[in-house]
Structure formats: structure tokens, C-alpha cells
Amino acid sequence: MVKHADCAPIFIFDPKKEVVGLLHSGWRGTRDKIVVEAINIMQSEFSSKTNNIKIVIGPCAHSCCYGFEKKDIHSELLNQDEWQQYINRQGKRYTLDFPGFIKNSAVKVGILDSNIEISPICTICDNRYYSWTRQRKNGEQIKNGVSIIGLI
């Protein structure tokens, strides 16, 4: 189980080894490729093969709403080549495609593109979900959603 509000819940499942994992990937976890670390653990601890691993990136902040200005903490990403295709400039702001970066990080270490799904739901613009960004902007109490994974 993980709590999140705009950060990406990442569900990982290896049906052959019957192993699951669930990650909370905020901007730092995404930058540091927490998904790759989890894949490495599944390989080393459970002998999972990358072509068997399935990943779902759950509802989270998407580039339609998630952005920053050059002076913000995220600006360090502007100087990293691997982020360039996931950052778009819109006036003085930059938007970030975190789910796209997470997916690409997993594909680069051997996860099949067809084994990765990204939820199209943006937690910032969809009021059915908790959003740290939206709640803070509206002066609301910050609440978190919960994601759970398990084997039956």
C-alpha cells in the first residue's frame, strides 16, 4: 500500500514468479529512477525476467497540469539530456511528463513497451482524485489517495 496525491503509484507484477511490487514515485523518485531499482530487485531477489514483468503507472499528475518555473526546484531537470523530451516550455513555465519518463526508464532496462500501461487520469485536473497541487492551490487540507496491490 502507498499513499499519494499527484505522485505516481507504480504497480509491478511478474505473473510467472507471482511477485508484486508497489512504488510511490514523486518527482525525486522519478528523477532517481525508482522504477529501475524495483525492477533490479525483482530480478536479483526473485529471478524475474524483464519480458515477464508488467507495470501500471496509476493516476498521477500529467503534463497537462504539472509544471514549474525556471527558479523552481525542478529546474535541475532542464540540464539533464534524458529529460529533454519530457519537458515542454509554455511561456515562462515548463511542463513535465512524469509518466512518460517512468515508462521510458522501464523500457530502457528491458521491460516490453506492451507490458506497460499509463493511466490517462491526471490527478490535478480530475476532481475525483486527491491532488497535492490542487488542494494546496485552493487552500484545502492536503489528503492522500491510497493504492494497494496483492496476490490472492
In this structure, is residue 117 part of a structural domain?
A: yes
Mean pLDDT calculated for residue range 38-55: 98
In this structure, is residue 152 part of a structural domain?
A: no
Residue 23: which domain range?
Answer: 2-147
In this structure, is residue 67 part of a structural domain?
A: yes
In this structure, is residue 77 part of a structural domain?
A: yes
In this structure, is residue 84 part of a structural domain?
A: yes
pLDDT at 73: 60
Strand order in the sheet with 93-96: 67-69, 93-96, 87-90
Q: How many domains does the chain have?
A: 1
DSSP three-state, residue 86: helix
The pTM of the full predicted model, rounded to 2 decimals, is 0.92
In this structure, is residue 122 part of a structural domain?
A: yes
In this structure, is residue 136 part of a structural domain?
A: yes
Asked if residue 27 lies in contact with residue 38, where contact means CB atoms within 8 angstroms, the answer is no
Give the chain's mean pLDDT.
92
- The position carrying cell 525476467 is 49
pLDDT 10s digits, 59-96: 999 999 987 767 666 677 777 888 889 988 888 888 88
Whichever domain contains 57, its CATH number is 3.60.140.10
In this structure, is residue 8 part of a structural domain?
A: yes
